[in-house]
Amino acid sequence: MLPLRFFIFASLAGICLWGLFSLLENLREPELLRSAKAVVVKGCSPIETPEAQRLCHQLFCEKALLDSKIVPRNARFEVTVQRKAGAAELIGGVVIGGSEADRHFACVLDHGTVTSKAIMTPTELESLTAANEWSL
C-alpha cells in the first residue's frame, strides 16, 4: 500500500512541477495584458529574445494609447508601419474596434519610450511615414 501512495504522490508532484515550469516559460513571452483597472506589458523587461525585440515597442505604443483613453480598452491594433531612424522609431497602424471606422494611430518612441502618440486619418499617417522627421 505504501509504494502505491508514494507513486500517486510522486505523479501528482511531477504534474504540478511541469505545470509550474510551463507557466514560468509563458511569462517571458511579450504580450499586452488588459484588465478593467490597468494595462500591463509583460515579457519586455528586459528585451531578450528576437520576438521581444520585434514586438515590445509595438506593445509600448498600444499601452500608451490605451492608458490615455484615446481608444477603447477592447480595441485591437494592426501595425502597418514600423520605421527606425537612429534612436527614434515610428510605429503606426489601424485601430480595430470601437464606434468609429478607419481610425489610424501613430507613436514616436525615443530609446524605447513613447514620446508622442496620436489618432489620425490614413492620409496623415501616409504623409508622416514619408517624412524624415516624425513629430505628432
Distance between CA atoms of residues 11 and 116, nearest Å: 53
What single string gives the DSSP state of each residue in 65-81? Answer: HHHTTSS-TT-EEEEEE
Q: Which SS3 state, helix, strand or coil, does residue 126 take?
A: helix
Q: Quick one: CA dihedral 62, 63, 68, 72, positive or negative?
A: positive
Q: Look at residue 99 in the predicted model and tell me its pLDDT.
A: 65
**Domain locations in the chain as residue ranges:** 2-130
What is the mean pLDDT of the segment spanning 57-82? 90
Residues in contact with 57: Cβ distance below 8 Å, sequence separation at least 6, in sequence order: 82, 89, 91, 109, 112
* pLDDT single digits (tens) 98-135: 666 668 999 999 988 899 999 988 888 888 888 877 77
* Angular region, 134: left φ>0, alpha ψ -120 to 50, beta rest: beta
Q: Which SS3 state, helix, strand or coil, does residue 124 take?
A: helix
Q: What is the DSSP letter of 37?
A: S
Taking 80 as the threshold, does the pLDDT of residue 92 lie above it? yes
What is the mean pLDDT of the segment spanning 77-82? 91
Q: Which residue has the cell 478607419?
A: 102
Q: Look at residue 25 in the predicted model and tell me its pLDDT.
A: 66
What is the mean pLDDT of the segment spanning 7-11? 80
pTM, two decimal places: 0.78
Q: Which residue has the cell 511615414?
A: 129
Distance between CA atoms of residues 81 and 94, nearest Å: 10
* pLDDT single digits (tens) 14-56: 887 787 767 666 666 788 888 888 888 888 887 777 788 888 8
Q: Residue 59 burial by CB count (10 A; 0-12/13-18/19+): exposed, middle or buried?
A: buried
